[in-house]
Amino acid sequence: MICKNCKGTGSGGLVNGIPTCCTTCYGSGKVISKELQKERGLNVPFNINCRVEVELTDYGVMILEKHYHDLGINEFKFDGKDSKYRTEMWHLMQTFGACLWMGNRNIPFVRNEFMIVGE
């Protein structure tokens, strides 16, 4: 979903490079238009409360299930379709942060990528 006021164009003016009428879009995990993202390049604000999606490797599934086991939730079993897992970015980093470092050959996410998704 995009901002109802500007339709993702940022026509409400900019404050610190953020479209003023889209400020709520950034904080809620909503996505602005592809054109505005391309125009801004990689300098797109990202809130850690945004929802993200990752495709888990077998190692990633093991880490996720261990995380819930360590919390005392032993009956948790990941049953995601196509190994896709959605959560907020802060939770993804809390769960997988200890196994994410440069040069790690045993990665939890396919292609080491995550996608920003809407609500």
Angle ∠(90,92,44) on CA atoms, nearest 5 = 60
Please state the domain extents for the chain: 1-47, 51-116
pTM for the structure as a whole: 0.61
Q: At what angle do helices 58-70 and 89-96 cross, to 10 degrees?
A: 90
Give residue 95's pLDDT band: very low, low, confident or very high (50, 70, 90).
very high
Q: What is the pLDDT of residue 45?
A: 74
Question: What is the distance between the alpha carbons of residues 3 and 18, in angstroms, rounded to a whole number?
Answer: 13
The pLDDT tens digits for 68-78 are 999 998 877 77
In the block, tokens 């300098």 appear at 43
